[in-house]
Structure 1
Amino acid sequence: MDANQDTLANPFGMDETCQNCPVLCERRRQVVHGYGDVSADFLFVGEAPDPDADASGVPLVGDGWGKTLRRLLERVGLCAIDADADRPTLENAYVTHLTRCRHPERPPTDEEIARCEPFLSAEIRMINPEIIVPIGERALAEVATEYTTTPADDLALEDSHGERIRGRGFELVPMIDPLEASDDERQAWLESFAALLASDYRQTKGRRGR
């Protein structure tokens, strides 16, 4: 599977006609794979596409979750402020989800997340990010279970919001869902992430400079 950085949407060419979850296939509008810079240091992982992503195939558009996350990425310099509204330009960031299809009436099941896990695992292997940002309780639990030695039950999102957690080859910097976070919580995460950007975070794996 090769990266195609000529496009930000699904740059790894993952299956856009996936039939692994029959119930989701019946209700989704399209499969929404990851979006962004294939050599990014920062990988953001949400739970599932929101309605705007389901309609457009891009996880950072519309007026809901995607727009709120996009505004945060703009403020830390990972998204161009003047980017096209339908195809925002991410720099050093990649946004994806635990599941690639949206059910309009419920969150994804554990089985659906498990069936989608190979997509996320492949993105993580190929991007090889320095920092993974799990967004929300579900993403934190899934990513922490797979990529840290800390039991997921020991990681409360409210306590770890914006904190650096050592993982197996990565660090995690969890984020409370931006639609559910207070103004103070969003500002706290921005300040924590700005401090991370100013640090020698690449020393984690000794990656060469970009």
Structure 2
Amino acid sequence: MDANQQTRANPFGMDAECENCPELCETRERVVHGYGDVGADFLFVGEMPDDESDRTGVPFTGEKGEVLQNVLGYLGLNNSLPGDDEPELENAFLTYLTRCHAERSPTDDEIRTCEPYLNAEIRMINPEILVPVGQRALTEIATEYTTTPADEFDAEDDHATTIRGRGFEIVPMRDPGEQSEADREAFVDHFQSLMAGDYRQTKGRRSR
């Protein structure tokens, strides 16, 4: 973790009382901004907080989060037990496209409204690898950071593969709630091979 980092939770001090989407203010308990190591090489992006993340204020907590936290543990990026409400992440940062819980998928307008939060986190962290978790995150990340039409990417087919993006390598992950044991093993194996190689080779070639 960066020596200057004071907290893993919302380390950049983003608006915790955001009211840009009035409808979502009625369905959330709290705003869920990013969480983790601000010096991370690996940034994981999901669609939106579920009810457990809304409760804890930390992305990818609860049942679905336990799957991802377990994967991070195998990769040496999580030093706490899977299911921890405040995981001890090292070299990983977790966030969402949108920051408020609702019992439905976010609208395109809501994603666009939250986009400055995500863009700011990516810019300030400057990760090496983006991991879109689930189809919606993959579509949005591919739209922003690749030159390939986003509808050509599929979170199931592209799970645990590497996509060359603009300034980043992108490694899609299936939604944790849909993953099999084989999916988890495939992701761990692929990501370990990236970590063992020269994944930092894109540094210095980015244009923002």
User: What runs of 5+ residues in structure 1 fail to find an aligned partner?
Assistant: none
Amino acid at match of 2:79: A
1:96 counterpart residue number: 95
For 1:83 and 1:156, the matched residues in 2 are separated by 27
Aligned counterpart, 1:111: 109
CA gap 1:186/1:78 in 2 versus in 1, 3 angstroms = same
1:115/1:194 CA distance change after superposition, 3 Å: same
Q: In the TM superposition, what is the alpha-carbon distance from 1:175 to its structure 2 partner?
A: 0.3
Cα root mean square deviation, aligned:
1.7
- Residue 28 of structure 2: aligned partner: 28
Q: Report Cα offsets for 1:10-49 as digits up to 9, x if no partner.
A: 0000000000101100110000000000010000000001
Cα distance in 1 for residues equivalent to 2:133 and 2:60:
14
Counterpart of 2:61? Answer: 61
1:87 deviation in Å?
1.7
1:107-165 Cα shifts (integer Å, max 9, x gaps)? 11111111000100000000000000000000000000001111111112222111111
Corresponding position: 1:205 with 2:207: no
Using the alignment, how far apart are the partners of 1:4 and 1:206 within structure 2? 23
Distance 2:61 2:180 in 1: 21
2:8 corresponding residue in structure 1: 8
- Work out the percentage of aligned pairs sharing the same amino acid: 62
Could you tell me whether the CA contact under 8 Å between 1:4 and 1:12 is conserved in 2? Answer: no
Paired residue for 1:173? 171
Q: Distance in 2 between matches of 1:151 and 1:161?
A: 17
1:58: Cα distance to partner? 1.2
Q: Which runs of 5+ in 2 are unaligned?
A: none
The 3 A distance-change label for structure 1 pair 198 and 29 is same
Aligned residues: 203
Where does residue 74 of structure 1 map in the other structure? 73
C-alpha deviation, 1:85, in angstroms: 2.7
**1:61 to partner: Cα distance:** 2.9
* Cα pair 2:47 2:137 within 8 Å, conserved: yes
1-side partners of 2:198 and 2:148: how far apart? 23
**Range with greater deviation from structure 2 (73-82 or 123-132):** 73-82
Runs of 4+ with deviation above 3 angstroms: 81-84
SS of the aligned residue for 2:11 comes to coil
The alignment partner of 1:17 has SS state of coil
TM-score of the superposed pair, with normalisation by structure 2 = 0.93
Conserved? CA contact 2:67–2:82, under 8 Å: no
Of 108-117 and 76-85, deviating more is 76-85
Query: 1:4 offset after TM fit, Å?
Result: 6.3
- State the AA in 1 paired with 2:80: I
C-alpha change, 1:102 and 1:166, in structure 2 (3 Å) is: same
> Partner amino acid for 1:165?
I
Determine which of 178, 186, 195 is the counterpart of 2:193. Answer: 195
2:151 corresponds to 1:153 = yes
Q: Counterparts of 2:8 and 2:129 in 1: how far apart (Å)?
A: 19
Change (3 A) 1:137 1:18: same
